[in-house]
Structure 1
């Protein structure tokens, strides 16, 4: 005889339970590249000269 299990009414994990891990921006202006990162630990950023490729 097969065992039967009741299905849950909704999913165990909903999309609204997601958390932001990190956000950032990279901007190039003139001969500089500005990078900013935001995480739960804080904000970091760098300004560097553009490297010719």
Structure 2
């Protein structure tokens, strides 16, 4: 069966997807946790909560 979801010139030429970055920010009373994941590795920070 032919894939008709893309215009004819683009069929079969899409690049594979790859993860660039993912992360999470969690705020708890008095602290903020930030975690970031990239191809280079994982970094994390726990900081005192700042008043906004």
Normalising by the smaller structure, the TM-score range is: 0.7 to 0.9
Tell me how many residue pairs correspond in the alignment: 45
Deviation, 1:51, is 0.7
The answer for the alignment partner of 1:22 in structure 2 is: 21
Q: Which has the larger radius of gyration?
A: 1
1-side partners of 2:28 and 2:22: how far apart? 20
Change (3 A) 1:31 1:13: same
Which sections of structure 2, spanning at least 5 residues, go unmatched? 1-7
Give 1:1-53 correspondences, 5 Å limit. 8=9, 10-13=11-14, 17-53=16-52
Q: Deviating runs (4+, > 4 A) in structure 1?
A: none
- What is the RMSD of the two structures over their aligned residues, measured on CA atoms? 1.9
Alignment TM-score, normalising by the size of structure 1: 0.72
